[in-house]
Structures are given as C-alpha cells and as structure tokens.
Amino acid sequence: MRYPFDRLVRADAVVVGSGIGGLTAALAMAPRRVLVITKGDPGGGSTPWAQGGIAAAVAAADSPADHAADTVAVGGGLNDPAAVEVLTADAPRRVAALEALGVRFDTGPDGKVLLGREGGHQHRRVLHSGGDATGAEMMRALVRAAAAAAHVETLPFAFAADLVRDGARVVGVTARTDDGEKVLALAPAVVLGTGGIGRLYANTTNPPEVTGDGLAMAARAAAALADLEFVQFHPTALASGRDPMALLTEALRGEGAVLVDDAGDRFMVGHHPDAELAPRDVVARAIWARLEAGRRVYLDATAAVGASFPERFPTVFALCREDGIDPRVEPVPVAPAAHYHMGGVATGLDGRASLPGLWAVGEVSCTGAHGANRLASNSLLEATVFGQRAGEAVRAAGAPPVEATAAFAAADPGPAPGDLSEVVAQVRRTMWHRVGVVRDGPGLTAAVERLGELEGRLPPAASEARNMVEAGRLIARAALARGESRGAHFRSDFPAPAPPGEEAAP
C-alpha cells in the first residue's frame, strides 16, 4: 500500500504544541509513548512571552473561593462553575508541582513567595519569576523535564497540517517539516496544545507562530467549538512600532503605575471604581476611545517603580530601552493589542473534546473557566491545571494502536505553499479593523465577506495563511451572531448585555 508520506510514526499519543499545556500533558502521560510536534524548538509559542505570573490562592488571607469569585466576576456571567472550581481549587497544588519540577518563583528576604496583584483580583495572589519572566522560567523547567523523559519524543520544526480521522474518531496528525518531509503520525489520542489566535490581528502581543492552527484543524475535523467571539485585547502594549507589540505586564498597574493621556488626564479614575485595575476589557476600551479621539495614551510608572525598574521588571525595562524609552523617568506610550482567546475547542474538565480520540489544552481549548473575559494570570494556570488533567485522562484511557488504512492517503498535507504574506497582511488588517476592540454588525459582515474572498486566493495545500483565514472567519461569524456586548466582546450597535437567555442571535 502506497502513502503520500515520507515517514510513518506510531505513538500512544500525539501532542501538537510545546507550550505549558502541551508539555504538562505529555509529562503526565508517562509511561505512554508520546510524540510532541512543534513548529520550532520545544518551548516556543506564547508561554515564554508571559510576563505577569500565575494566579493561585496561596496566601493565608486568600482562598480558592475568593479566586473563583474574582474569576466569575470578570467572566461576564458565562463561566462554567465546575471549570472555575477545578481551576481555582487545583491552583495551589499545581504551583507546588511546578516548584517540584524546578520552577523558581520570586521570594522576599524572609524566603516567602512574593505575591502581586493585577486587575480584577481582590487579593495579592499572582506568583511571578524573575520579576516579569514567569512564562520563560516555567518553560525552562518544562523543556528540561521533557528532554529528560524517556517516554517523550519531539518532532521539532514541523507544521501540523490536519487531524486524521477514522470515521468519527481522531487517530492521528499529518505534518510537514521545514525541510519538506511529510509525516503521518498515528496514535489513539491526539492532544491539541497549539495556543491562540493572536497573529490574526495587525496589533498583537503574541509571537508570529500563533496563527490559530489548532482551532482551524479542529473545525475542519468537525469538533465542537465554543465562545469564539471572545478575544481579549490587552490594554497596555508598547506602542513603538514593533510587530509583535511588546507587552507591558499588568503587574505594573498592580504596583501603582497609572494611565494618562497626552493632556495629563488620568482618565481611568472616575471611569471605573478600580481605575487602572479594572478588568482588561474595560481598560482596553477606555484607551481605545482616547486613541480614536486623537489622543495619545501613556503608562506612567515613574513614581510607582522608578529607579527600581531594572530589578523589578527587567523584561519590560529591556524592551523599552531597546526602543529608546526610559520608563524610570518617562511615561511609556501604550495601545491595546490582541492578547488571548477565551474561545476554542470545547472540552470537558479533563480536556476531552467532542470527537473521540481528541483532547485540547491551554489557549486553543475552551473549558468554560474564563467565560467572556479572562481574569489576569489565569492563563498559565488554566494550561497547567487542565494540561495535567488531560494527560492523566489520556494515560488512564488507553487504546489499541492505530493501523494505517488507504483512507489516510487523503490527508496528504501537500507541498509547502509559496509566499502568502500579502494574504496574511490583509487578514490581519481585516481582523483588527472589523473584529477588534469595538465591533458592529456591518463591519463584522464585511469581515466575513472579505475573509471568504481571501480564502479563494489560497492554494489548496495546508498553510498558516489558510488557518488564519478559516479561524478569522469563525471568530467574525461568532461575533456577528452575538447581538450584545459582554466581557471582551463589545458591539457598538448593541452596547449593553442582553437579558439572560437572549445573549446570542438564533
């Protein structure tokens, strides 16, 4: 039997993506044989870019119940209570597990862990590493553990093209390596850990590889999706012309940094009771309104952080200095940017998707824990909590090896496409202007139509560009269907939340 593949690989499970969710799941599957497919080196994606930290109720004055209450308050009433309970109750245990893995959280002179506060939190409960390098520290420990794990094999520099199905069941993944090799990886369990959709937008804090691949793959396989309209725009990205834009962690505002416009107005005071520590969607829209009115907006940490910037926020300090800005003595220009996707592949509490054999973890998944808006520093937490649960579920499930059949030949990923940069640029502009911080019906309709036109310009082979077009159209359609404003989804033509039960159009 002849297949259009250069290599056939069999494993007990395939994990697509090597961020915190994917590697946590892979490690938890031991001793089952796991193949991790990743676009670049292991440990890429958004995780190492995460600055703020990981939220957990580890302080004596805090509790998982308070953490859950904050998560729901920010989530716009759409959180799944069971998912929130799992997320917040498991948080202290997952922090301890990360420490056991070698993650070094910042501590004070007394040896106790330092806790920060961010928007939407009623307590200081955010653990961080290296001041503002939490994600990088987590990935350091996870990549080291995965490299030492005998049950984990990695296929780096490989683009996962599509899920392979045998009837209704997912039985593998096709991939194309950077040197053109076509791979068929068969396994009774596939875990998507591909991250979010930030690169769909012209302004984003996400790295270039975050192109909605897992979401598009799951959609083509007919897996259930949820909450796609809810895209979080971080309010404070460094407005210096970078692409991606550099993130200015919310921990800065937690330590007292303030937002001012070019007239010197500290506009968040009076706009929301928590001022700069209001939920991210509130702050992002307030900044957006100032920018649309022709003002410029700055984050001023000169009084709150000042001379201690290099020690307390070394990542942010270095980024600012690269762009000729000294945040110790001058305010930093900021603007909103696409940062996180609350929607994704619908899963249960163990990461299991609607298709047999398919799981999803981290940002590509939708557990329901975030609702319409994610609480700050719950992203790394969700990835480790549900990554662990998914890995344990795959390990416990077991399944016989998958046998290759002639039907799998149809999953050929095709050759690498040519230059699609102009299509990608138009997708990003369309999403930013039509499906961005503030939306309306005509703009969303235009986005759906434009993305359909762009799809017609793509070659048939699997590509990031095709995934971006497909994921963008799914998000735009979901936003068009939700005729209300809720959480991170704001419609200027429907500026208020709809009554319960009437949140979305039929």
Number of Cβ within 10 Å of residue 469's Cβ equals: 29
Q: Which among 348, 425, 31, 45 is positioned nearest to 212, based on CA atoms?
A: 45
Strands (E), 146-284: 152-155, 158-166, 169-177, 182-186, 190-192, 225-226, 231-238, 258-261
One of 176, 253, 280, 395 is an active-site residue; which one? 280
CA gap 58, 154 in Å, rounded: 34
C-beta of residue 193 within 8 angstroms of C-beta of residue 360: yes
CA distance 6 to 175: 10
- Give me the helices (H) in 295-374, please: 309-312, 314-322
Q: What CA–CA distances, in Å, run from 198 to 76, 96, 340, 423?
A: 22, 30, 7, 16
| Pair 119, 408: CB distance under 8 Å | no
The 3-state secondary structure of 111-165, one letter per residue? CCECEECCCCCCCCCEECCCCCCHHHHHHHHHHHHHHHCCCEEEECCEEEEEEEE
E-state strands within 187-264: 190-192, 225-226, 231-238, 258-261
Residue of 284, 300, 97 lying closest to 204 (CA atoms): 284
Amino acid at 271: H
Helix (H/G/I), strand (E/B), else coil: 466: helix
Cα–Cα nearest to 38, from 200, 194, 148, 172 = 194
Specify whether the CB–CB gap between 52 and 134 falls below 8 A. Answer: yes
Phi, psi of 196 (to 5 degrees): -100, -145
Told to judge if 280 belongs to the known catalytic residues of this protein, a careful annotator would answer yes
Sequence-distant (6+) residues with CB within 8 A of 373 are: 74, 75, 76, 230, 232, 279, 280, 281, 342, 487, 488
Q: Within a 10 A sphere around the Cβ of 187, how many other Cβ atoms?
A: 27
Please state, in angstroms and rounded to a whole number, the distance separating the CA atoms of residues 446 and 256: 41
Helix (H) or strand (E) holding 476: helix 464-481
Helix extents (H) in 36-133:
64-74, 81-101
Active site residues: 280
